[in-house]
């Protein structure tokens, strides 16, 4: 999958798709559900970045996925995950599941098919999260689940690898030609990332403001880069970013 774009391309937060469902407010970086944008269907294997706000005592009922790598990145609140693989540990109601909190990175490989649900069990605190889909480089595999924690201190002033195709550096393992880095930046904190020839990068600003590759970006903004070279992350103001290193 190749997106033909000039270097660089900035996608502003306000340009994303938007959906309101009462219990759910969602912003779509790529075509999703009723949001159909032929200019923004995918970027390499990166298929979905949805920024979701889930109201208290609400959530996604049991539904299915297949042949997709799904990453959940919670920013505020707590999200309860249950699936047909009985992933996680025992919850308060005696069922199997997992509670995903800020700092956790959850990876579910849907493979040949999985059912799951995601619910905000709090009676009064909303959940703010990113749901990320990456197209796998293999299909029809057994579904699997993995979850690891990366505290703010682990991401402070640097790009911390949190997902990769081989699980290196303690990251979760993807069945996809992709690597995901997370970083927190403020003041003079700076990081540099070298994009290898034949690769492309997608930088999503989770929150705050930051300068990447000389471009000022705010929360919800994204930068697409297709040329190899060095990316510099600097001048953050309470910034959190995700950087995807992707095949074409």
Structural domains for the chain: 9-246 (2.60.120.10)
Q: Which residue has the higher pLDDT, 1 or 109?
A: 109
Does the pLDDT at position 129 exceed 60? yes
Confidence of residue 100 (pLDDT cuts 50, 70, 90): very high
Confidence of residue 187 (pLDDT cuts 50, 70, 90): very high
* Nearest-angstrom CA–CA distance, 133 and 166: 18
Identify the sign of the CA torsion 206, 180, 31, 228.
positive
Confidence of residue 196 (pLDDT cuts 50, 70, 90): very high
Does the pLDDT at position 236 exceed 60? yes
Position 3 scores a pLDDT of 43
* Nearest-angstrom CA–CA distance, 187 and 146: 34
Position 47 scores a pLDDT of 98
Q: Which residue has the higher pLDDT, 58 or 5?
A: 58
- Give this prediction's pTM: 0.95
Position 248 scores a pLDDT of 87
- For 148-179, the pLDDT digits (tens) are 999 999 999 999 999 999 999 999 999 999 99
Does the pLDDT at position 32 exceed 80? yes
- For 199-228, the pLDDT digits (tens) are 999 999 999 999 999 999 999 999 999 988
* Nearest-angstrom CA–CA distance, 149 and 105: 6
As a whole number, the mean pLDDT across the chain is 95
Query: Are residues 58 and 92 in contact, defined by beta-carbon separation less than 8 angstroms?
Result: no
């Amino acid at each position: 999958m190749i997106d033909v774009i000039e270097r660089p391309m900035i996608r502003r937060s306000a340009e994303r798709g938007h959906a309101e469902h009462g219990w759910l407010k969602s912003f779509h970086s790529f075509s999703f559900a009723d949001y159909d944008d032929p200019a923004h269907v995918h970027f390499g294997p990166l298929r979905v970045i949805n920024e979701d706000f889930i109201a208290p005592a609400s959530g996604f009922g049991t539904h299915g996925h297949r042949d997709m790598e799904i990453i959940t990145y919670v920013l505020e609140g707590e999200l309860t995950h249950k699936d047909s693989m009985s992933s996680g540990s025992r919850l308060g109601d005696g069922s199997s599941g997992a509670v995903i909190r800020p700092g956790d990175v959850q990876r579910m490989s849907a493979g040949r098919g999985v059912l799951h649900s995601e619910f905000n069990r709090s009676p009064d605190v909303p959940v703010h999260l990113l749901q990320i889909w990456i197209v796998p480089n293999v299909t029809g595999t057994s579904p699997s689940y993995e979850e690891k924690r990366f505290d703010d201190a682990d991401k402070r002033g640097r790009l911390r690898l949190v997902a990769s195709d081989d699980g290196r550096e303690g990251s979760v393992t993807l069945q996809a030609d992709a690597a995901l880095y997370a970083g927190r930046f403020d003041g003079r904190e700076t990081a540099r990332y070298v994009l290898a020839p034949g690769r492309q990068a997608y930088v999503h600003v989770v929150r705050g403001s930051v300068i990447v590759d000389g471009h000022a970006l705010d929360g919800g903004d994204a930068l697409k880069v297709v040329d190899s070279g060095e990316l510099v992350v600097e001048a953050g103001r309470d910034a959190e970013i995700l950087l995807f290193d992707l095949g074409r």
